[in-house]
Amino acid sequence: MKSGSNLEKVLSSGHFAVTAELGPPKSCDPEVVEKKAEILKGFADAVNITDNQTAIVRTSSIATGVIVARKGLEPVVQMTCRDRNRIAIQSDLLGAAALGIKNLLCLTGDHQSCGNHPQARGVFDLDAIQLIDMVRRMRDEKKFQCGEEMSVEPRFFIGAAANPFADPFEFQVIRLAKKVTAGAEFIQTQLIYNVEKFARWMKMVREMGLHEKTYILAGVGPIKSAGAARYMKNKVAGMDVPGEIVERLQAASDPKAEGIKLCLDIIEQVRAIEGVAGIHIMAIEWESAVPEIAERAGLLPRPQID
């Protein structure tokens, strides 16, 4: 056990894991976080707390993670390289560990031009792979990035993201291998709507034996309407939403119900792919969909491991 987190225990004991996502509010209202945590509790092994996702200012991921943990739900704190240099990142990670955070997802981060402060100076002192490497050394070698030693090390279960739909396709698998070498113990993928392409990607992952070195959680999520699907297809960088998906939602009499049905279909298909160790449900600003999805996908009750 690297961290002793619930997520690590669930995965290492061979259970099919379920993680969800909880976006901090664009204000400092803890009640918003508590309400979302109450909805998700019991339906996921851990929940990702986004770090100013899409470069929009929100309550910090660490603070939100602590509020979520108080509610009895385990957080996966996301940390990006966009807003902090190696000094700030290490400092925040020591603080997060001191506050009891055990799971960390390391990301490069969306570019600041995508968000609500496009005038900001980006940092990008490190990239995601260098961040993973730094966090692993902090934990396993008790060393800061500069090489100095520390007395008590932060013990994180280290995660990273992967996007099977980004280009160059082959290089994205090489990049996953680099993340695993750097120390990524679990991977959460981009939202999957093109299952065929994801399956091809997983085949390459298996050929490189990466599924045996890291736990791969397939990213899924319900879409509320054909309009939302079209927006993701055309406007969101790194997404691959096939035309049939838009059409299926367009044709539905109850698009929300169809969106959930679609998500369940995708879960069933990705579960059948060798090397998929769990799913990551991203129901952004639609947390209430998660219990229904987990229930209908037959993923309940979540394992209790001591």
Partner 1 sequence: MIIADRKPFEEIKELTSKAKNILIAGCDSCVAVCLASGEKEVAVLASELRMQRKMDGLEGEIEEIVNVRQCENEYVDAMRDKVEKADLILSMACGVGVQTLAERFPDKLAYPALNTKFMGRPVEPGVWKENCEGCGHCILHLTGGICPVARCSKSMLNGPCGGSQGGKCEVDPEIDCGWQLIYDRLSRLGQLDALVEIMLSKDWSTSWSGGPRRVIKESAGV
Segment interacting with partner 1, rule: CB under 8 A, options 2-10, 93-101, 124-132, 256-264: 124-132
Per-position x/- string for 50-89, each x denoting binding to partner 1 as judged by CB under 8 A, each - no binding: -------------------------------xx---x---
Segment interacting with partner 1, rule: CB under 8 A, options 69-77, 95-103, 125-133, 210-218: 125-133
Per-position x/- string for 146-175, each x denoting binding to partner 1 as judged by CB under 8 A, each - no binding: ---------------xxx-xxxx--xx-xx
Q: Do the beta carbons of residue 55 and residue 113 sit within 8 Å? A: yes
Strands 46-49 and 186-191, sheet pairing: unpaired
3-state SS class at 31: helix
Segment interacting with partner 1, rule: CB under 8 A, options 18-26, 42-50, 107-115, 290-298: 107-115
∠ CA 285-289-290, rounded to 5°: 100
* Cα–Cα distance, 25 to 284 (Å, whole number): 12
Half-sphere exposure of 43 (CA within 13 A, CB side): 24
* Cα–Cα distance, 111 to 59 (Å, whole number): 18
Per-position x/- string for 234-273, each x denoting binding to partner 1 as judged by CB under 8 A, each - no binding: ---xx-----------------------------------
The span from the first CA to the last CA of the chain, in angstroms, equals 12
Per-position x/- string for 191-220, each x denoting binding to partner 1 as judged by CB under 8 A, each - no binding: ------------------------------
Q: Do the beta carbons of residue 229 and residue 265 sit within 8 Å? A: no
Residue 79 DSSP class: E
Among 142, 143, 178, 197, binds partner 1 (CB under 8 A): 178
User: Which residues here bind partner 1, judged by CB under 8 A?
Assistant: 81-82, 86, 108-111, 113-114, 122, 124-130, 133-134, 145, 161-163, 165-168, 171-172, 174-175, 177-178, 181-182, 190, 237-238
